[in-house]
Chains A and B, each alone.
Chain A
Amino acid sequence: GAVVSQHPSRVICKSGTSVKIECRSLDFQATTMFWYRQFPKQSLMLMATSNEGSKATYEQGVEKDKFLINHASLTLSTLTVTSAHPEDSSFYICSAANREYEQYFGPGTRLTVT
């Protein structure tokens, strides 16, 4: 399967600060990248869909000004959680899709906001 990396794997930050998470598809050019959030013992929740060179499409209820997504190239997308608060603490996972719409997930970033 394809390889998707995500960095950092774990981050702790203070309330009010911003955190940037990088997602890279290492061995294929992703037509689309996705950002998910998962709270403990809950299912994946899609936050936004990101296409290279265009604005991200956010799911209902996800604040685009709080969760900034930049998709600079076919292999890199970034998610910035701005002015993070403790309720933003979660497991953030990116995925990259190939032309068959198969999504390959990164290893995830565990964010803790204190």
Chain B
Amino acid sequence: QKEVEQNSGPLSVPEGAIASLNCTYSDRGSQSFFWYRQYSGKSPELIMSIYSNGDKEDGRFTAQLNKASQYVSLLIRDSQPSDSATYLCAVLGFQKLVFGTGTRLLVSP
């Protein structure tokens, strides 16, 4: 079983819709979770960090964490074509992040 799992996609949504990206992790003791966005040919960019159960909102982005289910998600409201990228879920292990393979999001105009 992979430590951090994401659906590779692509997830296709129309402009203006809500994109929902999901991630599950195997280490029940994990406490810190991160979402990164990576455009093709570029390095990852930190979007959100979340440490407590529940929702955390930042602009159009909402991260949701459910430690009991070992599940973390990222919602993108009012999706824009510029949101088209690969979204990486990362879970803090021992001093280092464990990344999922990423979900490719395509937002069509």
Chain A residues near B (Cβ < 8 Å): 1, 32, 34, 43-44, 46, 49, 93, 100-108
Contacts and interface: CB of A to CB of B under 8 A. Distances in A.
Interface stretch (B18-26, B70-78, B91-99): B91-99
Interface in B94-108: 95-97, 99-102
Contact of B46 (A43, A46, A103): A103
Contacts, number: 43
A12 to B, nearest CB: 16
Contacts of B34: 102-103
A91 B64 CA distance: 31
Contact of B88 (A34, A44, A100, A104): A44
Contact of B32 (A32, A101, A104, A108): A101
7 contacts: A32-B95, A34-B96, A44-B99, A101-B32, A101-B92, A102-B34, A102-B49
Contact of A49 (B88, B90, B95, B102): B95
B2 to A, nearest CB: 11
B46 A106 contact: no
B14 interface: no
